[in-house]
Structures are given as C-alpha cells and as structure tokens.
C-alpha cells in the first residue's frame, strides 16, 4: 500500500471514529447506542469502495468500542462492520464507477443494513447475552441503519479522490496540469 492510500485510510478511520463518538445511548436491550458512524461508514463505502469502507468501519468502530467502555463488543463490531462496509462498497461498484448508480447505492445500503442487524444479533446472542435478549437490540440496530440511509444525500458533497494514483509526485503533476 502506498503512502497516499495509507493516508486516506487513516483519514477515513478517523472520520468513522469521530462520527461514532457523536452518539445517543438507548435504554433498549443491552443498552446500545445510536451514532452517525454508520452514516460515515456507508458514505465512505459508497464513494470510495469496498476496501476503504470495510477497513475504515471495522477499525474506526472497534477502536471506539475499546476506548469507550464497550470492549466486549469490539470483536463483533470489527467483523460485522468489516462485512457491512465490504458489501456496501462492492454492491455500489458499477461500470460507470464507484457509487454512480442511485439504485445500486440504495440496494447496497439495504444489504449493508441487513448485515449489521443480523450480524449484531448473532454476535450478541452467541457471545454477550442469549437469543431472546438479543432481539431487544434489533430496534437500535435498525435505527443505525435508518441513520445510515442519509449517506445517500451527502455523496455529492464528498470530494472525488484519485485513490489509484501511483504516487504523490504523479498526482501532483496531474493536479498542476
């Protein structure tokens, strides 16, 4: 991975981490929370692809869990968000480019929402509580998905980045004309 891609990845991880810190606690199930990290994760996956979406979501949100008293959830968060970010980015890729089809973007977000709801349900049921108690957290996870849908409306405001530039010198020459 070249320096440019590492810098973008670090930036995206930080954006997801910070967005996840903008949160409201829910008195449901095991006391989950709702945040705008999912919105950021979806936006990154839609606009910049499956690898950036998957890794920024998995690392950023698992880091949030570890640093915010939710460490027991970090392994599940890492796996669920890695899968959801990958699915969203993969489904948003078309012949026209990454995130260029509004229909594919909507399908991608719904698929990502399903991965999040089912993934967290299974993780909680198997490792945190039990199957009945885990159902109490489903409304919070659906709320996370609903907040993430708003990523469809911010895509055009995100910058177009040349994520495949070979190196900084070539990118600078291209930018300067």
Q: Could you read off the pLDDT tens digit of each residue along the chain, which spans 177 residues?
A: 789 999 999 999 999 999 999 988 877 655 568 899 999 999 999 999 999 999 999 999 999 999 999 999 999 999 999 999 999 999 999 999 999 999 999 999 999 999 999 999 999 999 999 999 999 889 889 988 999 999 999 998 999 998 876 555 555 555 555
* pLDDT value for 163: 84
Among candidate residues 159, 125, 163, the one with its CA nearest the CA of residue 43: 159
* pLDDT value for 162: 84
CA angle 87, 91, 97 (to 5 degrees): 130
* pLDDT value for 169: 54
Produce one character per residue of 96-114: b if its CB has 16 or more CB atoms within 10 Å, e if not.
eebbebeebbeebbebbbe
For 48, residues 6+ apart whose C-beta sits below 8 A from its C-beta are 8, 12, 89, 98, 161, 163
Which CA distances in Å does 6 have to 41, 46, 135, 171?
Answer: 17, 19, 38, 15
* pLDDT value for 49: 97
At the top level of CATH, the class of 3-152 is mainly alpha
Contact criterion met (CB below 8 Å) for 4 and 54: no
* pLDDT value for 33: 80
Delimit the domains of the chain by residue range.
3-152
* pLDDT value for 127: 96
């Amino acid at each position: 991975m070249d320096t440019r891609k590492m810098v973008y990845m670090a930036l995206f991880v930080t954006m997801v981490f910070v967005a996840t810190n903008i949160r409201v606690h829910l008195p449901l199930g095991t006391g989950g929370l709702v945040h705008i990290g999912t919105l950021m994760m979806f936006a990154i996956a839609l606009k910049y692809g499956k690898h950036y979406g998957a890794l920024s979501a998995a690392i950023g949100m698992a880091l949030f869990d570890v640093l915010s008293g939710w460490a027991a959830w970090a392994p599940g968060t890492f796996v669920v968000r890695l899968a959801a970010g990958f699915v969203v980015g993969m489904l948003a890729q078309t012949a026209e480019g990454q995130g260029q089809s509004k229909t594919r973007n909507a399908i991608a977000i719904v698929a990502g929402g399903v991965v999040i709801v089912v993934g967290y349900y299974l993780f909680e049921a198997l490792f945190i509580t039990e199957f009945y108690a885990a159902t109490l957290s489903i409304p919070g996870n659906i709320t996370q998905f609903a907040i993430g849908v708003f990523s469809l409306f911010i895509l055009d405001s995100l910058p177009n980045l040349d994520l495949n530039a070979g190196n900084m010198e070539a990118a600078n020459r291209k930018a300067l004309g």
